Structure formats: structure tokens, C-alpha cells
Amino acid sequence: MPKAYWIALYREISDPAKLAGYAKLAGPAIEGGGGRFLVRGTPAQIYEAGQSERTVVIEFDSVERAIAVYESAAYQQALAVLKGGAIRDLRIVPGA
């Protein structure tokens, strides 16, 4: 089964306190579901239509596992804390 990658691109962070509260809940929820953080931070360099905002890449053993973590009660609680604090583009992409 191919791995999957959860990619979150932050377009805008309007409330850093909400982002911090989200991170305290989201990290354990994601890691508890088998997610492994590969990237967390701002780009070292951007090209084309890129934005210099926070980027997060998380590896999972499968697409199904990544979706299950996103839909879990623990992660949904983290999202509730973040609500209104950031605009993100989040994708779950199958790996090779």
C-alpha cells in the first residue's frame, strides 16, 4: 500500500494564539494516528505563485489512515480551536 502525504499550505495566519492552541491539540492527534511530521515551517525560497507562509507535510502509511486522522474527534477538536485563526489549503495526496 502506498504512503500518503498530508500537505497543509497556510495562506494567512490571522490569529497566532489560535494557531498555537491548534498545534497543541493537533500534533498529538496526528502522531497518535500514525502521522510523521516531515516539514513544519516557512519556505527557505519561493518560486512562481508560491507564498512565504507556513507549510506542513505529514507522512502516513496510507490515504485511508490520513483521512481517518483528519476525521477523528481529536483532530476535529483541534480544528475547532483554529477556526477563524488561519486560512489553509490542505490536501491528502497518495505517494509513489
Q: For residue 51, what pLDDT is reported?
A: 86
Residue 96 has pLDDT above 90, yes or no: no
Q: What is the pTM of this model?
A: 0.91
Radius of gyration (C-alpha) of the chain in whole angstroms: 13
pLDDT in tens, 2-53: 999 999 999 999 999 999 999 999 999 999 999 999 999 999 999 998 889 9
User: Within a 10 A sphere around the Cβ of 10, how many other Cβ atoms?
Assistant: 17
Q: Can you list the domains of the chain with their CATH numbers? A: 4-94 (3.30.70.100)
pLDDT at 18 (0 to 100): 98
The rounded distance, in Å, linking the Cα atoms of 32 and 58 is 13
- Top-confidence residue, 57 or 50: 57
